Amino acid sequence: MNLTDIIIVGSIITGLLSIPFLATNSYSDYIPAGKAILGINESDVTKIPARASKTLSFDRFERTYETAFGKFYFLMAPDNIVQELSRPGTTVRVIATSDKSIWQLTTHKYMLKITQDPDKTIEEFSNADGSLVRVKQNGGVNETFQGFNPQVLEADMQNARVMLENEVNKMEQIKLQTVLPEIQAFSSNSPLPQPPSGNQTQTYSVRITSVSYSTEWVEITNSGEEAVVMTGWTLQDASSNVYTFPTGFTLNSGASVRVYSGSAYNTCSNSQTSLCWKASSIWNDSGDTATLKDSSGNTVSTYSYP
C-alpha cells in the first residue's frame, strides 16, 4: 500500500461520518461472518452465543465479530489497516501501512512472519527445532539458520506458509461479506494485501518446457538460481483437469520434473524428477494448453500445441 492509498483511506473515513452506522443491526452482519469463522451453516451460527460490534470515529473504522470459537477484527485508519482472525491455537494478523505490509501466523507449533516493503521481503520462521530468517533483496537471498535440522525446519515453514494463505483467504471472505458492503469505495481504491507466496510471482523462473501428448507427460523446468517450493501449485489442461503438487515438493535450480498421466502413470514413481497424476489420458492429440499456477492461483506459465 502506497501513501496515495493511505490518503484515499483517510478521505473515505471522513466520508463515512455521514452514514448512520449506529442505527444498523450488527447481528445481521454477524451471521455471514460466523459462517466463515466457524465453517458451519447459518442455522447453527444462530445457536452459538456471539458478540458483534462496530465503531466509527473521526479517525477510524473498527469491526469485531466474536464467539467462543473464533474472533475476527478489522481496523481501518488513515495510517494503517489491520485484520486479525483468531481461533483456538491459531492467530493470523495482517497489517498494511504506507511503507510496508506484514503477514503473521502464530500457532502452538510455530510462528511465521513475512514483511514486505518496496525494497525487500523478509521471512522469519521459528519452531521447537530452531529458526530461519530469509531476506530477499536486490535479486539475492540471505539466509540465516539456527537449530538442529534445517530440512525439518524448511518443511514446517512451507506448511506454515500454506496455512497462512488459507487463513488469510478466510479473512478475505469475511471482509467481502461483511465489511466491504459498508465501505464499497474502499474495495476499489485500496484493496487489502494478499499473502505472498514463498517466491513472488514476478520472480518465478519456472516454466513448462515441453508437453508430450503421445506418451502423456509435461516437463517443467526451473531455470532460475533459487529452488522453488511448489507446494499447492497446480497444472491443468484446457478441459480443467487439475493436478496439485504435493506438500514440500521443491524444484531445484536448473532441475526439471515430468508430470505423468495416461499409460505412463502405470510405471511412474514419485520423485524429484517425476510426479504421477492419474491413469486416464489428459492431453489431446489434436491440440491442448497446459497451464501452471502457483499456490495463490497466479498463472506462472502456459504451453500450447500444436
**Which cell numbers in the block locate residue 92?**
493470523
Of 268 and 12, which is predicted with more confidence?
268
For 86-140, the pLDDT digits (tens) are 888 899 998 888 788 889 999 999 999 998 888 888 999 999 889 999 888 877 8
pLDDT of residue 80: 82
- CA pair distance 171, 190, nearest whole angstrom: 16
* Global confidence as pTM: 0.50
Output the CATH code of domain 201-305: 2.60.40.1260
pLDDT of residue 49: 56
In three-state secondary structure terms, 114 is strand
**Residue 99 neighbours by CB under 8 Å, 6+ apart:** 117, 118
Residue 230 has pLDDT above 80, yes or no: yes
Of 158 and 48, which is predicted with more confidence?
158
**Residue 301 neighbours by CB under 8 Å, 6+ apart:** 204, 206, 207, 208, 220, 291, 292
Domain boundaries, the chain: 3-189, 201-305
Q: Residue 23: which pLDDT band, with cuts at 50, 70 and 90? A: very low
Rounded to whole angstroms, what are the CA distances from 100 to 79, 116, 141? 11, 6, 19
User: Could you give the percent of the chain with pLDDT greater than 70?
Assistant: 74
Q: Residue 77: which pLDDT band, with cuts at 50, 70 and 90? A: confident
Q: Residue 276: which pLDDT band, with cuts at 50, 70 and 90? A: very high
Chain position carrying cell 511503507: 99
Helices then strands, each counted (H, E), the chain: 5, 20
Residue 241 has pLDDT above 60, yes or no: yes
Amino acid at 182: E
In three-state secondary structure terms, 170 is helix
For 28-70, the pLDDT digits (tens) are 444 455 545 555 454 554 555 567 787 777 677 888 887 767 7
